[in-house]
């Protein structure tokens, strides 16, 4: 309903539109002979219009939460974006993202991830692993490194991060993330 966007006194809430599609749930499982990739269904992306929060502007006053007809305002439940890598690191207790054109740092449920984009290939790394893949063929990903204790790798997180990255960097939409990354005027 976007009620939270105009009621924010600091303009911290904004909208973005990720490409509507279904994301495959792609996981790798370590076996004695190597890694086996499998697809465990799909995540349908049914809501094209998304709301996000720019953490650098948000003072967590709760005004958006008061006006939200749902349970939980954007500063609590929606993707949170930081304006610099330093801010993303400084607020390690908050899940969220720092986005550049060619890379993205993410913290989801307290776990940190890095997604680097180079042409048609991407590198994704998290706690104890690093993989390379093409977004249109995630089941063909290559495990570049994995610590001994890593038994499985969920590539779905990388696909979701890339969907969000592309949505906030859309040159046809103005938001603080796109402006800082230089994709919007």
Condensed to tens digits (0 to 9), the pLDDT of residues 48-61 reads: 789 999 999 999 99
Nearby residues of 84 by Cβ (< 8 Å), 6 or more positions away: 56, 98
- Report how far residue 106's alpha carbon sits from residue 129's, in angstroms, rounded to the nearest whole number: 15
Q: What is the pTM of this model?
A: 0.91
Task: Give me the mean pLDDT over the 15-23 stretch.
Answer: 85
Residue 70 has a pLDDT of: 81
Note whether 68 and 37 are within 8 A (CB).
no
Burial classification of residue 158, based on how many CB atoms lie within 10 Å of its CB (0-12 exposed, 13-18 middle, 19 or more buried): buried
Neighbours of 50 (CB within 10 A): 18
Q: Are strands 50-54 and 80-81 parallel, antiparallel or unpaired?
A: parallel
Q: How far is CA 66 from CA 13, 48, 60, 70, 74, in A?
A: 14, 24, 12, 10, 11
Residue 45 has a pLDDT of: 86
- Give the three-state DSSP class for 62: coil
Residue 74 has a pLDDT of: 84
Burial classification of residue 60, based on how many CB atoms lie within 10 Å of its CB (0-12 exposed, 13-18 middle, 19 or more buried): middle
Higher per-residue pLDDT: 149 or 72? 149
Q: Are strands 34-44 and 50-54 parallel, antiparallel or unpaired?
A: unpaired
Note whether 115 and 88 are within 8 A (CB).
no
**pLDDT at residue 71 above 80?**
no
Task: Give me the mean pLDDT over the 65-71 stretch.
Answer: 85
């Amino acid at each position: 309903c976007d009620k939270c966007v105009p009621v924010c006194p600091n303009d911290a809430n904004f909208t973005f539109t990720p490409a509507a599609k279904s994301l495959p749930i792609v996981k790798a499982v370590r076996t004695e002979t190597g890694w086996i990739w499998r697809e465990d269904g799909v995540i349908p992306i049914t809501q094209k219009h998304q709301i996000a929060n720019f953490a650098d502007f948000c003072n967590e006053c709760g005004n958006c939460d008061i006006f939200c007809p749902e349970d939980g305002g954007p500063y609590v439940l929606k993707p949170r974006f930081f304006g610099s890598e330093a801010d993303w690191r400084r607020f390690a207790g908050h899940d969220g993202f720092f986005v550049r054109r060619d890379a993205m740092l993410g913290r989801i449920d307290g776990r940190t991830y890095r997604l680097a984009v180079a042409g048609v290939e991407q590198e994704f790394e998290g706690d104890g692993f690093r993989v390379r893949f093409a977004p249109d063929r995630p089941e063909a990903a290559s495990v570049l490194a994995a610590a001994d204790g890593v038994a499985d790798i969920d590539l779905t997180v990388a696909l979701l991060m890339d969907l969000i990255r592309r949505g906030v960097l859309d040159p046809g939409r103005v938001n603080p993330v796109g402006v800082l990354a230089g994709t919007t005027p």
